[in-house]
């Protein structure tokens, strides 16, 4: 089991978001003879200026992005100015993925987040069919940081699998061979063990 400070890019994005769609409100009722359905249709428009803060993306090619996303969120309130003393006894990597390279993934997350916000604001409708959307990122500010993560690699039938643990929260994610039913119990047990280990020594990375 290895404790590693993983390099992350954090993006703050100012956006203009627009949504146009067809909203439907459906009402049903019955009497002694018939069952009625009434559907009212509305042209729905939502616009908003949205600021996203601290959207993370790991800056290392060899680390699986999906695993890092699975153990989010990290607590940014605990970030501290860099000091070599924090690295004593632990590993730390330097980024090998640039801001420009991670931006498409950041953009994808911003667009999904903005669209979800606009849809949630139109939740008064039974259904909403989006016909047009536009999410413009006006400005992006970047920060570079290191986040604490525990890694455990193990070998099963000549293949290597990975467990990762958020070094702040203890949240666990893993890559398992899904076709192996017997490994489910092993994975569950190992997850419990990792959680206990984190509770004992997890604070060492903070």
List, run by run, the mean pLDDT of 10-residue segments along the chain (206 residues): 90 97 95 93 97 95 90 91 79 91 96 96 94 96 93 77 86 67 53 57 49
Question: What pLDDT, on a 0 to 100 scale, did the predictor assign at position 205?
Answer: 45
Residue spans of the domains in the chain: they are 2-28+36-205
Question: What pLDDT, on a 0 to 100 scale, did the predictor assign at position 6?
Answer: 93
Q: How far apart, in whole angstroms, are the C-alpha atoms of residue 196 and residue 28?
A: 52
Question: What pLDDT, on a 0 to 100 scale, did the predictor assign at position 86?
Answer: 75
Give the DSSP letter string of the chain: -EEEEEEEEEEEEEEEEEEEEEEEEEEEEE-SS-EEEEEEEEEEEEEEEEEEEEEEEE--TTS-HHHHHHTPPP-GGG-----GGGGTTSEE----S-HHHHHHHHHHHHHHHHHHHHHHHTTTSSEEEEEEEEEEEEEEEEEEEEEEEEEEEEEETTEEEEEEEETTT--EEE---TT-THHHHHHHHHHHHHHHHHHHHGGGG-
Pairing of strands 35-58, 2-30: antiparallel
Question: What pLDDT, on a 0 to 100 scale, did the predictor assign at position 178?
Answer: 52
């Amino acid at each position: 089991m290895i404790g590693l400070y993983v390099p992350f890019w954090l993006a703050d994005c100012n956006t203009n978001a627009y949504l146009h769609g067809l909203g439907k409100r459906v009402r049903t009722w019955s009497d002694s003879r018939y069952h009625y359905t009434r559907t009212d249709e509305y042209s729905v428009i939502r616009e908003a200026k949205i600021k996203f803060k601290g959207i993370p993306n790991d800056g290392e090619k060899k680390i699986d992005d999906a695993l890092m996303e699975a153990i989010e969120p990290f607590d940014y309130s605990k970030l501290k100015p860099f000091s070599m003393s924090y690295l004593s006894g632990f590993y730390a990597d330097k980024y090998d993925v640039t801001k420009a390279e991670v931006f498409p993934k950041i953009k994808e997350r911003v667009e999904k987040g903005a669209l979800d916000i606009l849809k949630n604001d139109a939740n008064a409708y039974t259904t909403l069919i989006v016909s047009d959307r536009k999410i413009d990122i006006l400005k992006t500010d970047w920060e570079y940081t290191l986040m604490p993560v525990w890694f455990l690699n193990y070998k099963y039938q000549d293949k290597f699998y990975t467990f990762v643990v958020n070094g702040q929260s203890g949240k666990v994610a893993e890559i398992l061979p899904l076709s192996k039913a017997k490994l489910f119990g092993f994975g569950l047990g190992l997850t419990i063990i990792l959680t206990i280990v984190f509770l004992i020594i997890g604070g060492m990375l903070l």
